Amino acid sequence: MTDDRTRLRDLPLVLRADASTEGGTGHMMRTFALTQAWLDGGGRATWLVADAPASLLDRIEREGVEIVRLASPVASIEDASAVRETLARDAAAMAVVDGPEFGSAYLDALDGVAARVLVIDDRADRPVYPVGFLLNQNAHADRAAYPADATCRFLLGTRYTLLRREFVPAPPPRSPAPVARHLLVTFGGADPTGMTARTLMALRRLPEALRSTILVRVIVGAANADGPHIDAAVARPDLGFQAVVERAVDDMPSQMAWADLAITSGGSTVWELARTGCPALVVETVPVERLLVSGLARVGLFGHLGPETELDERELADEIAAKAEDVAWRATMSALGMRLIDGRGARRVADALADGSSVDEERI
């Protein structure tokens, strides 16, 4: 791969991904990471969007991306037609589609331009993949999980993990503290199951000697509708520990570098934490995260707390306390995460699209 910033030579990229309070922001943010890599290589981008928080759209527009609002129902034939027609106007354009709602019928409707489409996929649950490229950036990614007769080019595993531009530079050296006193609570852009507030209540159950010395930063995402409840929880006079709420965070690497331990969900944030060497306890907040966390288990990364429906505050507090005092475990997780994720996945995917051919189908 060349370092030439003009390697994409003004090539157009069409993006199709949404974000919402129900579906979260993960699909949109990892697509944004790929968009940044494309722009940094000298390409240009147009984003077709039906639903997204204004703050995210503003951030995307500041990159110089053209935003096109879709009025048709999400994942409808009309939605697919907008992608197809945009590609048809420029024979050099490539497209990226990310979201479980864009099923087989949607992909079939891209007939005629599908060879220039990349689908970002976590589940391997579509019966067919009639597109040119498929990306599964997770540790559970396996070619055997996909149809044997699929002809698309597969980009599989954490070699291709999409991280935003701020995660590309090497993270600062990390020396695990004897006791984790800086805790980061971050449950993605939406947190539809309310795990942020539940974690704050669990922290009140920590042993007093630990609880009275911790500092907690709570990240509230752009699509999180539970903000007032979280603010009220942090403001409780009987909280028993120091906590601050952070919103509209543009510099997540510095937040993660500050933290000794994170409590998070099983989405894309785990790869950001891995890149920065921040150890984490992971809660499965939506069904697909069981699959994603199975990949973490495969490579031995992070602590796994199971589905949020089966987790109570006492169990959560006990796990946090145990890992806060286990410096050896935290050091191991930190080193493993930084070894697995090198921050260059988005660049690799952008180059694969630009070249029209797959780089190595390497996976963990």
Distances 54 to 18, 19, 57, 248 between C-alpha atoms, Å: 12, 10, 5, 12
pLDDT at 357: 39
Residue 314 has pLDDT above 60, yes or no: yes
The Cα 255–Cα 252 span in angstroms is 5
DSSP 159-181: GG----GGGSSPPPP----SS--
Q: Please, which pLDDT band fits residue 4 given cuts at 50, 70 and 90?
A: low
pLDDT at 48: 98
**53 token code pair:** 């928080």
pLDDT at 362: 42
Residues facing residue 243 across a β-bridge: 216
Evaluate whether 364 touches 139 at the Cβ level (below 8 Å).
yes
The Cα 272–Cα 253 span in angstroms is 8
Distances 234 to 19, 195, 200, 312 between C-alpha atoms, Å: 26, 14, 8, 19
C-alpha angle with apex 276: 274 to 280, nearest 5 degrees?
50
Residue 69 has pLDDT above 80, yes or no: yes
Average the pLDDT over 200-215 and give the result.
97
Q: What is the pTM of this model?
A: 0.94
Evaluate whether 288 touches 123 at the Cβ level (below 8 Å).
yes
Residue 242 has pLDDT above 60, yes or no: yes
Evaluate whether 205 touches 185 at the Cβ level (below 8 Å).
no
Domains of the chain: 12-166+343-355 (3.40.50.2000), 182-340 (3.40.50.2000)
pLDDT at 201: 94
pLDDT at 5: 66
Average the pLDDT over 232-249 and give the result.
91
Give the mean pLDDT of the chain. Answer: 93
pLDDT digits (tens, 9 = 90+) for 318-331: 999 999 999 999 99
End-to-end Cα, the chain, rounded Å? 21
Q: Please, which pLDDT band fits residue 3 given cuts at 50, 70 and 90?
A: low
Evaluate whether 163 touches 346 at the Cβ level (below 8 Å).
yes
pLDDT digits (tens, 9 = 90+) for 112-155: 999 999 999 999 999 999 999 999 999 999 999 999 999 999 99
Residues facing residue 45 across a β-bridge: 13
pLDDT at 254: 97
C-alpha angle with apex 305: 304 to 311, nearest 5 degrees?
170
